[in-house]
Amino acid sequence: MKLVEITEAEFDVELEIRYASHNNFTGSPIYSRAACFLNEEATEKLEKAIHLAGQLGYRFKLFDGFRPTEAVQALWDHTPNPDYLAPPTSGSPHARGAAIDLTLLDASGNELEMGTDFDAMTPLSHHAVTDIPVEAQKNRVLLLGIMTAAGWDNYMNEWWHYQLFKPRRYPTLSDRAAGTNMMDHSKESE
């Protein structure tokens, strides 16, 4: 399976790959380099979503795309919570290049208010909650509308997570198998 690198210049998106920084729920980088990849079908659907958002005066900020199986395991080892993370045994849609975590930016490049931060593992992150400001509810609906119009499925517990329908038709990939060079392999035994 071929993965496509999603770059700021080529796709007119902003990248803030959280798992390549300390700014994520683990407090430590999981990836050794900040990069975003998707499989070819997901790339086509992202391009459609980018076009639809652009027509409305918005752009996307991407937090994560392809997540190598090593990263899926590391996140699960830190926080084994099936409400917000796919267990490694079931195979995350991210490990298939079939999921994207993102938010909307306004014309000035500011993130729209969504009521919680990315990866907030709380019921306030769920779609359709009403315990967040009305503006955040509207922004979530806007994001949901753009993404579903572009052919994405959503995950009810995370306003930022969208995936292809039936992602399990794609295989899960390790960093080496995908050739993404996102993980630090220097500590692995030969």
Q: Is 9 helix (H, G, I), strand (E, B) or coil?
A: helix
Instruction: Give dist(CA 136, CA 21) in Å, integer.
Output: 26
Q: Which residue's entry shows tokens 């315990």?
A: 131
Give just the sign of the alpha carbon dihedral 170, 88, 116, 25: negative
CA–CA gap between residue 30 and residue 79 (Å, rounded): 13
Distance between CA atoms of residues 164 and 177, nearest Å: 21
Catalytic site residue 113? no
User: What does the DSSP 8-state code read for residue 171?
Assistant: P
Q: Which of 14, 40, 47, 158 is catalytic?
A: 158
Give the residue numbers annotated as catalytic, written as ranges: 158
